Amino acid sequence: MMFKLPALVAGLALFATAAQARPQVCWVEYSGGDAPGAFGAAGATAAVWHNTASGFLVRHPKGHVLIDAGWSRAAAAQMAELSPQKRPVAERILAALAWRTSAPEALAKAGESPDHLTWILPTHAHYDHMAGAEDLPGAPILLASAEIAFLDAEARTPDIVAASDIRALRPRFRPIAFKPRPYLGFKESFDVYGDGSVVAVPLPGHTPGSLGVFLKVGGRTVFDIGDAAFVSEAVEKGLPKNPALRPVVDNDGDAADAQVKALATFHAAHPQVLIVPAHDRTAWQAVFGPEPRCVD
C-alpha cells in the first residue's frame, strides 16, 4: 500500500495533536505517616489511618494546574504563628509525619518543573494544602472569594493560617468565578479548562471557601474533596471528624458536619464517582495504584 507524503505527514500531525490533547493526571505526594484509625473520623472502624498529604497535577494543552501544593519548607516556623488554641495540634500533626518533602521535590518525581505550572488550585488554604505554593513562585493561586476573605481576616488575626504565608502569597490570589451551571447536583461550578476535565464546586465548612474538584482520570471521574472528610469511611457513612480534632481544624463545625452528610448522600447517588479525601492514602491508591504515578 502506498501513501502520498503530504497525506502521511498530515495524518501523523493529526495523530500527534490528538495524543497531546489528552490531559495527563499525576498523583503528587508531600507527606505520609500512619495514625490511629479513630483519628480519621468519629466512629471510624479502621484500626489504622494511612495518612497522606497529596495533590493532583493536571497537564492539559491549555495549561498545567496543581491541585493542592502541600507544606512550605518553612512549615515548622509557621506553626509558631498560629493561635495558642490551634498551634499544639498543628505541631503534633507535623511531628507525627513519617516523612515530608517540598512541593518542588514532589513535582520533580512527577517530571514537572515549577516553571511549567499555569495555576495552583488549593482545595482550601490550610498550611498543608496552600503553603507549599511559597516554594513554587510565579503561578497564580485560584481561590474562592470566601476563602480570600477568610485569609484577609487571618492575616489580621492569625488563627489557623500563618500570617507570613498569607503575606507571601496574597499578590498571587485570583478569585474563582463560580457560574450557575449545575454539575452532578452542585448548583454552581467552575470549569477550569472549559471542557469538563477539571471542575471545581463549593464545599464550605472546613473553611469558608473550601472546594471540591472533579477530574477525569484514566476514563473515570474522581472527586477530590480536600478536607471535607479525612477518610473514605467518613464519606460512606456521613461521619463527622474526631471530636478532638473537629473544633481545631473545622472553621464551622456544624457546616462541616452537614457537608460530610451531603457527601454521603452524593456517594450513594453516584457510586461510580471515586471520592478521594486529600489525606486518605488508601483512596489515592484506589485511583493510581500503590505509589504516585501519572495516568493519561
CATH numbers and ranges of domains, the chain:
23-295 (3.60.15.10)
Average pLDDT over residues 260-276: 98
Model confidence at 138: pLDDT above 50 = yes
Q: Are the C-beta atoms of residues 205 and 249 closer than 8 Å to each other?
A: no
The pLDDT confidence band at residue 2, using thresholds 50, 70 and 90, is: very low
Query: Is residue 166 over pLDDT 60?
Result: yes
Residue recorded with cell 488554604: 125
Q: Are 267 and 215 in contact (CB under 8 A)?
A: no
Work out the pLDDT band at 83, boundaries 50, 70, 90.
very high
| 43, pLDDT greater than 60 | yes
- 36 three-class SS: strand
Greater model confidence, 14 or 218: 218
For residue 107, is pLDDT > 90?
Answer: yes
* Cβ-based neighbours of 255, under 8 Å, separated by 6 or more: 204, 205
Decide the pairing of beta strands 24-36 and 99-100: antiparallel
For residues 186-213, average pLDDT: 98
State the Rg of the chain over Cα: 19
- What does the chain come to in residues? 296
Q: In the prediction, which pLDDT does 21 show?
A: 63
d(CA 165, CA 169): 6
Closest CA to 232 of 278, 272, 199: 278
Compute the CA torsion angle 160, 161, 164, 168 (nearest 10 deg).
Answer: 180
Kindly report the backbone phi and psi dihedral angles of residue 19, in degrees, each rounded to the nearest multiple of 5, phi listed first.
-65, -40
Mean confidence (pLDDT) of the chain: 93
What average pLDDT does range 88-117 have in this prediction?
97
Q: What does the pLDDT look like over 4-26, one tens digit per residue? A: 444 443 443 333 333 446 799 99
**149, pLDDT greater than 60:** yes
CA 168 from chain centre, in angstroms, equals 20
User: Which grid coordinates belong to 201?
Assistant: 464546586
Average pLDDT over residues 243-267: 97
Question: What confidence score (pLDDT) does residue 124 get?
Answer: 98
pLDDT (average), residues 265-284: 98
Is the pLDDT confidence value at 128 over 50?
A: yes
Distance CA 21, CA 68 (A): 23
Judge whether 215 and 202 are in contact, CB under 8 Å. Answer: no
C-alpha cell recorded at residue 46: 479502621
Phi, psi at 128, each rounded to 5°:
-100, 10
Percent of the chain with pLDDT over 90: 93
Whole-number Å distance between alpha carbons of 110 and 119: 17
Under 8 Å between Cβ of 144 and 176: yes
